[in-house]
Chain A
Amino acid sequence: MMATTSADIANLEAIATRCRAHILRMTHRAAAGHPGGSLSEIDILVALYFSRLNVDPDKPKLEERDRFILSKGHASPGMYAVLAEKGFITEEDLSSYRVLGGVCQGHVDMKWTPGIDFSAGSLGMGLSFGMGTAIAARLDGSERSTWVMIGDGEMQEGSIWEAAMAAAHHELGNLTVFVDKNNIQNDDFVEVQMRMFDIPAKWAGFGWAVRECDGHDMQQILDAIAWADSITDRPAVIIANTIKGKGISYMENNPAFHGAAPNDEQLGIGLAELGLFEVGA
């Protein structure tokens, strides 16, 4: 873990702002996609990719790389934005989002995009896969770690809890889960669709080390990552309290922007709110 100064934090925040703009442009161009969950996850993704994960854009398949699994694979614009900022793909590739033959498929896909470690899109699968890569690292005697991002709606899938139980049983200290707790799923708020009750208690009951953080506060995210690294005898989960659509006023906490793209006017407003303006738009 690198030491973090206020300049580092400001740098991470600047990257996250650029990523937010990518997310708006990508979904706007495709007139489809999932901006809400991309904007809620993006600060965490930026923190991981720019301060923690051992990955090399020139060698995306490097065996000793850390693994990041976006289990909520519909929130792919956030993932592609980070991969572009990191240099795995180009900024032009972002315009191929949801386009026939494009590098950036609708849902993240390990066969199509360099830097993607798992083909997701069907919820509830990534944690089990991450358990597999964590066991592989242990079998290899490797220090590499696995990080999995899941949604709070996604936690309703039973398979999440099969994996949670199994990862704790196998004491996978090299596995960390981020829960993007934005309180909204597809049709409505989580409270309406399926109440989750005490989420930290659930994970603790399954044998995990549990911590909460503000998923939009860079310092808190970095602290939580360092904490997860310090847990080596069991898997760790960070419940990140986030806001769906974070950073764009009309999207914030609005279920309508789970799976709807901004129109021309909304794109302009959004970019302005980020302090950016569309060049040549």
Chain B
Amino acid sequence: MSRMAATRDGYGQGLLNISDDERVVVLEADLGKSTKSLHFRKQFPERTVSCGIGEQNMMLVAAGLAASGYKPFASTFAIFTERAFEQIRNGVARPNLPVHICGSHGGTHTGTDGGSAQSIEDLAIYRTLPNMTVMHPCDDVSAAELTRQCLDLAGPSYMRTARNKTRVLHENRIDDIKIGKGIVLRDGSDVCIIACGVLVDKALEAAEKLAGDGIDAGVVDMHTLKPLDGDLINRMAASTGCIVSAEDHSIIGGLGGAIAEHLSSNHPIPLERVGVNDRFGESGQAEEMLDLLGLNTGDIIEAAHRAISRKSN
């Protein structure tokens, strides 16, 4: 059995891993127990800033800290980072300040709180901001490592983490994890499934089942949506001739949108997007949401068949 963990725990661990750097400052908006910044707060209360339930203020306090030489890491739920979108746009991204934002409980996988808490647009909106690095890791190992690598960034970043535990896929593979570089988890010649976050594991499951039907499907963990690993996509496109994207996010503007933009300019081949089809979520258990919204293993398999059938022979 593989270990199970949530990417938000990876973020919490990642903050501890970089705590030796005294420029690291953590900002909270009354959700530290949930985003897992609480571990850092407990050990380093003097370097943790409670902003109350005030996300707009938090993002700009972080910007001021960054402009003063600190390395601020601000977290809240993905949905509530959006409350401060314009602050992030004008106060963080435009001046290109190294503020690192973590939005936890992203996607519909968050579950029973319902539609108001399920961000399905965060990756899309942050991707539109110049200077912004946008990430969505699939396990705690990569979440912790990407958090560490934020220290090397000259500009701001947004990382979405998820609430629930999923299979750990990158145990002992830290060297493969690099901001901006997709990770090939499985090679394939018929179709390549490019996924992020909680759907990476589903993509692997789908590939295994497709193998049973004689279809050779590759799987890529595209944990960085921006900058997008275009070279890897080109390689996969050339070797398979069709691509499926999979994400717990709207099909508009997220990973599928980014891949569509890239392919249409560089390598126009069939792309099928698995994601939330332009609707809001609702209350339900994580797996129920994936089924309801067409994001589960079976949906990825169907998308793979569609993509393959669209290839011109």
**A-to-B contact residues, CB < 8 Å:** 30, 32-33, 73-74, 98-102, 105-107, 109, 112, 119-124, 153-154, 156-158, 185-187, 192-194
Min distance, Cβ A101 to any Cβ of chain B, angstroms: 8
- Whether a CB of chain A sits under 8 angstroms from the CB of B30 is yes
17 A-B pairs besides A100-B289, A121-B113, A156-B30 with CB distance below 8 A are A33-B112, A99-B284, A100-B282, A100-B284, A105-B114, A106-B112, A107-B113, A107-B116, A119-B116, A122-B116, A153-B53, A156-B52, A185-B52, A186-B30, A193-B52, A194-B51, A194-B53
- Whether a CB of chain A sits under 8 angstroms from the CB of B285 is yes
Asked if A99 meets B53 with Cβ closer than 8 Å, knowing A32-B112, A107-B114, A109-B114, the reply is no
In the complex the two chains form, is B112's CB within 8 Å of A98's CB?
A: yes
A98 to B112, CA, bound (A): 5
Contacts of B115 in A (CB 8 A): 105, 109
Which residue of B has the minimal Cβ distance to A104?
A: B283
Which residue of A has the minimal Cβ distance to B79?
A: A122
- Whether a CB of chain A sits under 8 angstroms from the CB of B32 is yes
Min distance, Cβ A168 to any Cβ of chain B, angstroms: 21
Which residue of A has the minimal Cβ distance to B34?
A: A186
- Whether a CB of chain A sits under 8 angstroms from the CB of B54 is yes
Which residue of B has the minimal Cβ distance to A155?
A: B53
In the complex the two chains form, is A194's CB within 8 Å of B283's CB?
A: no
Asked if A156 meets B114 with Cβ closer than 8 Å, knowing A187-B28, A187-B38, the reply is no
Contacts of B83 in A (CB 8 A): 122, 124
Contacts of A185 in B (CB 8 A): 30, 52-53
In the complex the two chains form, is A154's CB within 8 Å of B114's CB?
A: no
Contacts of A122 in B (CB 8 A): 79-80, 83, 116-117
Which 8 A-B pairs give the minimum distances between C-beta atoms? Answer: A194-B52, A121-B116, A100-B284, A156-B52, A98-B112, A106-B114, A106-B113, A105-B114
In the complex the two chains form, is B113's CB within 8 Å of A153's CB?
A: no
Asked if A73 meets B116 with Cβ closer than 8 Å, knowing A99-B284, A193-B30, the reply is yes
In the complex the two chains form, is B285's CB within 8 Å of A100's CB?
A: yes
Min distance, Cβ B69 to any Cβ of chain A, angstroms: 26
Contacts of B28 in A (CB 8 A): 187
Contacts of B34 in A (CB 8 A): 186
Chain B interface size, under 10 / 10 to 19 / 20 to 34 / 35 or more: 20 to 34
A259 to B83, CA, bound (A): 22
Contacts of B112 in A (CB 8 A): 30, 32-33, 98-99, 106
Tell which of B34, B52, B80, B117 has the most Cβ of chain A within 10 Å: B52
Which residue of A has the minimal Cβ distance to B55?
A: A157
A43 to B135, CA, bound (A): 45
Residues 80-112 of B contacting A (Cβ, < 8 Å): 80, 83, 112
Which residue of B has the minimal Cβ distance to A31?
A: B112
A119 to B116, CA, bound (A): 8
Contacts of B117 in A (CB 8 A): 106-107, 121-122
Asked if A187 meets B283 with Cβ closer than 8 Å, knowing A109-B115, A121-B114, A122-B79, the reply is no
A185 to B34, CA, bound (A): 13
Asked if A153 meets B52 with Cβ closer than 8 Å, knowing A100-B282, A158-B57, the reply is yes
A112 to B114, CA, bound (A): 11
- Whether a CB of chain A sits under 8 angstroms from the CB of B174 is no
A194 to B117, CA, bound (A): 23
In the complex the two chains form, is A186's CB within 8 Å of B33's CB?
A: yes
Contacts of A102 in B (CB 8 A): 283
A233 to B285, CA, bound (A): 48
Tell which of A32, A112, A154, A187 has the most Cβ of chain B within 10 Å: A187
A192 to B45, CA, bound (A): 12
